[in-house]
Amino acid sequence: MNIGSSNSTYDEYVAKESESELHEYDIDGRRAVTKHVGSRGGNCILTVETSYGTLGVTRDLFDSELPREQSCDGIDDMARIFLSHLPEGA
């Protein structure tokens, strides 16, 4: 698992990844998007909008036999742990 942040906006990230298969939704009032990485299951990137840009959570499950459509299951719960520590308004 990796956690990162960027001062690029959420809209810039979505535009940059426009050719990827993205799933947009909402996490606790913040825009979010998941992206499956690779042809096999187990690799997922979650990008969440913040006031300073984006927060990214990457999860790589090596040697995973998960179906690709399940590779992002639960990643939003992991992100909530970190989002809860951001300053109010961030």
Residue 88 counted as domain residue: no
Q: Number of folded domains in the chain?
A: 1
- Count of H helices and E strands in the chain? 2, 5
Residue 75 or residue 65, greater confidence = 75
Task: Confirm if 51 and 90 have CB atoms less than 8 A apart.
Answer: yes
Residue 89 counted as domain residue: no
Q: Which domain holds residue 79?
A: 2-83
Residue 90 or residue 49, greater confidence = 49
Residue 25 counted as domain residue: yes
Average pLDDT, the chain: 89
Rounded Cα–Cα distance for residues 3 and 10 (Å): 16
Residue 43 counted as domain residue: yes
Enter the pTM of the model.
0.89
Residue 31 counted as domain residue: yes
The model's confidence at residue 35, banded by pLDDT at 50, 70 and 90, is: very high
Task: Confirm if 71 and 81 have CB atoms less than 8 A apart.
Answer: no
Task: Confirm if 78 and 49 have CB atoms less than 8 A apart.
Answer: no
